[in-house]
Amino acid sequence: DIQMTQSPSVLSASVGDRVTLNCKASQNINKYLNWYQQKLGEAPKLLIYNTNNLQTGIPSRFSGSGSGTDYTLTISSLQPEDVATYFCFQHNSWPLTFGSGTKLEIK
Amino acid sequence: VQLVESGGGLVQPGKSLKLSCSASGFTFSSYGMHWIRQAPGKGLDWVAYISSSSGTVYADAVKGRFTISRDNAKNTLYLQLNSLKSEDTAIYYCARHTMGITDYWGQGVMVTVSS
């Protein structure tokens, strides 16, 4: 199984900061990597699919990059409504696997 | 697009439960569907997938105990949960899948396995 490791597990930043969340796969996942945002008590929401494709309706301050085993989600200017847990998800091979999440907080 | 799960509840270990996911707002028969779960306070855990042509794939933790199925005439996805264990306690989400994109998720249904 492909293990997905996210770092950091908790990130505290100020409004307006540029923040970067990391996701590392235990093997090459060929850019088949999605990012989800989950706010407290809500279902996950798709932000980015296949590494760098912004889902319709998602603000342009969110972007994704990466290749091989290393991927990042960047928020260019953190907003209060971005407080949430962010999960990466590989769909390169079965079984599909999620990272353990990065909890993003506002300082 | 709307996905609404139902059928959850409190069940004893070893017993069974059947979850449903009612889909609307899209052509259900054209999409693959997932079940994904989240134990209380934990991360996300993929459970099972069914393609538009009803091919299925399962996580090892549920293989042989859970069965995913679909009824395209009723626009409904199912998950039959048998031989339930305490570690199956979680919120169960259904989610739509197409061309590598798992986009819309339901709000989830809680399954609690406890004596």
Contact assignment for B102 to A94 by CB distance below 8 Å: no
Contact assignment for A55 to B103 by CB distance below 8 Å: yes
Confidence of residue B100 (pLDDT cuts 50, 70, 90): confident
Asked whether B17 and B35 are in contact (CB, 8 A), the reply is no
CA B17: distance to chain centroid?
11
pLDDT at B99: 83
Residue B43, chain A, CB below 8 Å: the answer is yes
**Pick from A24, A29, A14: which is nearest to A78 by CA?**
A14
pLDDT at A7: 95
Could you say which residues from 4 to 33 on chain B have a Cβ atom under 8 Å away from some Cβ of chain A? none
- As a whole-number percent, the residues of chain B with pLDDT over 70 amount to 100
A57-81 average pLDDT score = 98
Residues in B touching A96 (Cβ below 8 Å): 34, 46, 49
Contact assignment for B49 to A96 by CB distance below 8 Å: yes
A19-57: per-residue pLDDT in tens?
999 999 999 999 999 999 999 999 999 999 999 999 999
pLDDT at B71: 98
Asked whether A90 and A71 are in contact (CB, 8 A), the reply is no
Cβ count within 10 A of residue B46: 24
Residue A83, chain B, CB below 8 Å: the answer is no
Residue B106, chain A, CB below 8 Å: the answer is yes
